[in-house]
Amino acid sequence: MTAEPTGVPSAPSRTSTERPGLFVTFEGGDGAGKTTQAAMLEEWLRAAGRTVVRTREPGGTDVGAIVRDLVLHHRGHIAPRAEALLYAADRAHHVETVVRPALARGDIVIQDRYLDSSVAYQGAGRVLDAADVRGLSLWATDGLLPDITVLLDLEPKTARARLDSDDKPFDRLEAEKSEFHDRVRAGFLRLAEAEPERFLVLDATEPADTLAERIREAVAARLGRRPPGDGRSRASSSGAGAPEATHARRRRGASA
């Protein structure tokens, strides 16, 4: 286990074995390809008969949509602590009303962004203490951590070129200067280093299909590790190639 970098508090207060479902989050800077990969994973799992809940933060609930609009599109200053609290409020409501119920049913939750985004953006990117930001989110979610977090790592300049070609207006965070995005990227990498068992770090410049395959392997390995009768039944019953059977075998020692 890697030594813990300064400012990153340690790990999980809850373990994944306490719940039957699987919680997979996608993290990374803007433009890293999270949404594409989340969609590919969803499609693969559904084809294998799994029940998937695909969601995101901020904005995975009706309350969250209002918070999202505020944090991303408010014109003018928002105090950093207020910004951190708004993301945490969105997260608290989302986890209690969407994520935990899905995990309790045994579903697979695939989520764009979670508390690591807060630590990276509000902690490393802004001026707040990373440990405080993480502590706030852990309080907001009663300690819920993902089983797997896929970090799509991308150099901010490349990410910016991708966003530019998207032809969408930038939100408040996207519009930040490049040093901000460099700090965010470094913040994500520190988090991954502190929790190598949870994170799968991938080079986001790799082709989408290659990335998708690596992610499938990690997810399949995690599913394959589950003891029988822990919420997988509905998924495996519909067959369709049960990802855990085919992919767990060729898992490359890796970790996720």
**Which of 50, 188 has the CB closer to ligand TYD?**
188
The answer to whether residues 49 and 236 touch, using CB atoms and an 8 Å cutoff, is yes
AA letter at 9: P
Site for ligand TYD contains 118 (CB under 6 A)? yes
- Contact with ligand TYD (CB under 6 A) among 132, 171, 182, 193: 171
In sequence order, the 6+-apart residues with CB closer than 8 A to the CB of 182 are 156
d(CA 41, CA 112): 12
Angle at alpha carbon of residue 21, lines to 206 and 117, rounded to 5°:
50
Task: Print the binding letters for residues 126-165 with ligand TYD: x by CB under 6 A, - otherwise.
Answer: ----------------------------------------
CA distance 116 to 27: 7
* # chain residues binding ligand TYD, by CB under 6 A: 15
**Which three-class secondary structure string do you get for 3-59?**
CCCCCCCCCCCCCHHHCCCEEEEEEECCCCCHHHHHHHHHHHHHHCCCCEEEEECCC
Report residue 104 as tokens. Answer: 């309790």
Q: Is 57 in the site for ligand TYD (CB under 6 A)?
A: yes
Nearer to ligand TYD, 173 or 220 (CB): 173
Give the contact letters, 71-90, x = binds to ligand TYD (CB under 6 A), - = no.
-x--------------x---
Q: In the set 8, 16, 30, 48, which binds ligand TYD (CB under 6 A)? A: 30
Query: Which x/- pattern, by CB under 6 A, does the window 199-238 give for ligand TYD?
Result: ----------------------------------------
85 versus 248: smaller Cβ distance to ligand TYD: 85
Is residue 31 within 8 Å of residue 112, measured between CB atoms? no
Contact residues for ligand TYD, defined by CB under 6 A: 30, 56-58, 72, 87, 112-113, 117-118, 121-122, 171, 173-174
